[in-house]
Amino acid sequence: MHELSLAQRIVEIVHESIGRHAPQTVRTISLEIGELANVHVDSLTFAFEALVEGTNLQTASLQITSVRVQVLCKSCGTFSTVDGVTFECPRCGSTTLDVRRGRELDITSIEIDDYTEVNHGNSDR
């Protein structure tokens, strides 16, 4: 199950970043997932919540941003966004494309509440 191992990796990476027994409360873990990464967001969220239950990450929620597929046409050099189904250069119709974005599975940020820090409320975005 792809989503479960992915959720495990996310937990590992977060633990490496904040420390396994860190007192901080993790609020949000932001992820960028490419449309070609074949990740079911619901399954990933479910697996993650099951994994972190009862741990110091149980307050964390995943914020997942889907990344559009971007390709570079090898024939005409046009950089374009495609829908991930039709792999065709919108300019010249070539199907010889180099996928530049859309396969990523990245943690872009980890938002923590550090209770030594006074929150003056600029978290509204």
CB of 69 to Zn ion, least distance (A): 15
Q: What are phi and psi of 57, to 5 degrees?
A: -105, 5
Q: Which residues contact 14 (CB under 8 A, 6 or more apart)?
A: 26, 29, 57, 60, 107, 110
CA angle 46, 47, 52 (to 5 degrees): 100
CB of 91 to Zn ion, least distance (A): 5
Residue 79 or 115: the one with the smaller Cβ distance to Zn ion is 79
Query: Which residues 56-95 are close enough to bind Zn ion by CB under 5 A?
Result: 73, 75-76, 78, 89, 91-92, 94
What residues line the site for Zn ion (CB under 5 A)?
73, 75-76, 78, 89, 91-92, 94
